[in-house]
A and B are shown apart, each in its own frame.
Chain A
Amino acid sequence: AQSVAQPEDQVNVAEGNPLTVKCTYSVSGNPYLFWYVQYPNRGLQFLLKYITGDNLVKGSYGFEAEFNKSQTSFHLKKPSALVSDSALYFCAVRDTGGGNKLTFGTGTQLKVEL
């Protein structure tokens, strides 16, 4: 069975500082990994994905994520946070050997303050 863990319910960052939102995963095969963002009263929006290749993936709005196979992690990062980045962030995984279902983490609320 595949699973995703987001150990932090909330992350607080000052604007202009770097941010990290943590994600670890468990799959039986190779993972496809995704980050989605949800703004208040909105559906989820795709940020970025890791399929294969370069471990550092760049996505929308200046976000990037680093795939670390040995640590089974896929942490989301941004060098300089903006207040407008405040939202709920979900990590998701799809097992390449396990069909098409996507498993989401519990979400991390990011709050960026002035």
Chain B
Amino acid sequence: EADIYQTPRYLVIGTGKKITLECSQTMGHDKMYWYQQDPGMELHLIHYSYGVNSTEKGDLSSESTVSRIRTEHFPLTLESARPSHTSQYLCASSEPDRANEKLFFGSGTQLSVL
């Protein structure tokens, strides 16, 4: 059972609001990731981190930002939400220095921007 948690599970907000999606893991993993997924569609990597104070943009351009101040915490922020940001956001982590290691995923945050 994966020890990676995302909150909130569902979020409905109005356009222009600032939001932060939380992701925490208790496995001590250095590597963490944010993926964006539209319903029944492929996952797109939007951010990743290889450790504290390390953040990189992923393959899909995103207006969101991330921070990694603590190993266990990797929040994603949208300064001004828009309807185009409506999607599911999945957080994941993996063990360090093992390129072949599997990802552990949280249950996701389903974001709807009205």
Binding site for B on A (CB under 8 A): 32, 34, 36, 41-46, 49, 51, 88, 90, 94, 96, 99-107, 109
The proximity string for B residues 87-114 relative to A, scoring 1 for CB distances below 8 Å and 0 otherwise, is 0001010000001101111111010000
Stretch at the interface among B14-22, B36-44, B69-77: B36-44
Q: Which B residues touch A109, using CB under 8 A?
A: 40
Q: Which of the four size classes fits the interface of chain B? A: 20 to 34
Whether A96 and B99, one on each chain, are in contact in the complex, defined by CB atoms closer than 8 angstroms, is yes
**B48 interface hit (Cβ, 8 Å):** yes
Whether A46 and B31, one on each chain, are in contact in the complex, defined by CB atoms closer than 8 angstroms, is no
**How many residue pairs at the A-B interface have CB separations less than 8 Å?**
58
**B81 interface hit (Cβ, 8 Å):** no
Provide a sorted-by-A list of 16 A–B residue pairs whose CB atoms are within 8 angstroms: A42-B107, A42-B108, A43-B108, A44-B43, A44-B92, A45-B105, A90-B43, A94-B100, A100-B50, A100-B99, A102-B103, A103-B59, A104-B43, A105-B42, A107-B41, A109-B40
Query: Which among A32, A36, A41, A90 is the interface contact of B100 at CB below 8 angstroms?
Result: A32
Whether B31 and A100, one on each chain, are in contact in the complex, defined by CB atoms closer than 8 angstroms, is yes
State the CA gap A51–B98 with chains docked (Å). 11
Q: Which A residues touch B35, using CB under 8 A?
A: 104
**B66 interface hit (Cβ, 8 Å):** no
Whether A49 and B100, one on each chain, are in contact in the complex, defined by CB atoms closer than 8 angstroms, is yes
Q: Which B residues touch A46, using CB under 8 A?
A: 102-104
State the CA gap A114–B27 with chains docked (Å). 39
State the CA gap A104–B58 with chains docked (Å). 13
B48: nearest chain-A partner, CB-CB: A101
Query: Which among B6, B31, B42, B45 is the interface contact of A90 at CB below 8 angstroms?
Result: B42
